[in-house]
Chain A
């Protein structure tokens, strides 16, 4: 069964901390994405990657960075966590040059206090 695995289901961090959210997929997908989901705002794209060591900004990249050193792993980094980054974070992957169905991880609910 194909999978996208996010390392933590729940995470509580303090303001100003550096936070790493990890995502691993076992489907050999080229494309990986990070979204955040907030009530009333739906899913918003933070960053995406179409290849190893490649990254592109999504709609709301401010305050975030990403790393993709290996094809299967895509990390989201909050350089200095703030309370407005409290959210549900969803990682997804897909294959091919065109966008077909995405496979999502179970999500990480991050609370910044």
Chain B
């Protein structure tokens, strides 16, 4: 079951431009996380934003969270060709037995052209 759904599915931009990816989710969350995946590789954790936070920064990354709209956005500023990858949002939901688990969306494929 997918909790987060990213939008757009694919994004193509030029180096130096900003890239914005959006994520919508369905149920209440404890936190929301963004991951990056280079082609054919594992995922790398980028940033975590808690449900009581509205914005968070890490280097060229800026994440916002709007719990009233059940949505989040990831902004990559001054993009580089090396930012080309797929980006996933993931939300924490309660699993049976009281355990937490991450549920991932289908991802946004970002292509940054030199």
Contacts and interface: CB of A to CB of B under 8 A. Distances in A.
Contacts, number: 64
Interface residues of B, number: 27
B42 A105 contact: yes
A102 interface: yes
Interface in A87-107: 88, 90, 92, 98-107
A35 B42 CA distance: 11
B113 to A, nearest CB: 23
Interface centre among A42, A48, A90, A100 (most CB of B within 10 A): A42
A14 to B, nearest CB: 23
Interface of B: 1-2, 30-31, 33, 35, 40-45, 48, 88, 92, 95-97, 99-107
15 contacts: A35-B104, A40-B106, A42-B104, A43-B104, A45-B101, A56-B97, A88-B40, A98-B30, A99-B100, A102-B35, A104-B42, A104-B44, A104-B45, A107-B40, A107-B42
Interface of A: 4, 33, 35, 40-43, 45, 48, 50, 56, 58-59, 88, 90, 92, 98-107, 109
Given A45-B101, A98-B100, A99-B101, 16 more contacts: A35-B104, A42-B104, A42-B105, A45-B102, A45-B103, A48-B99, A48-B101, A50-B99, A56-B95, A56-B99, A59-B1, A90-B43, A99-B30, A102-B33, A102-B35, A102-B102
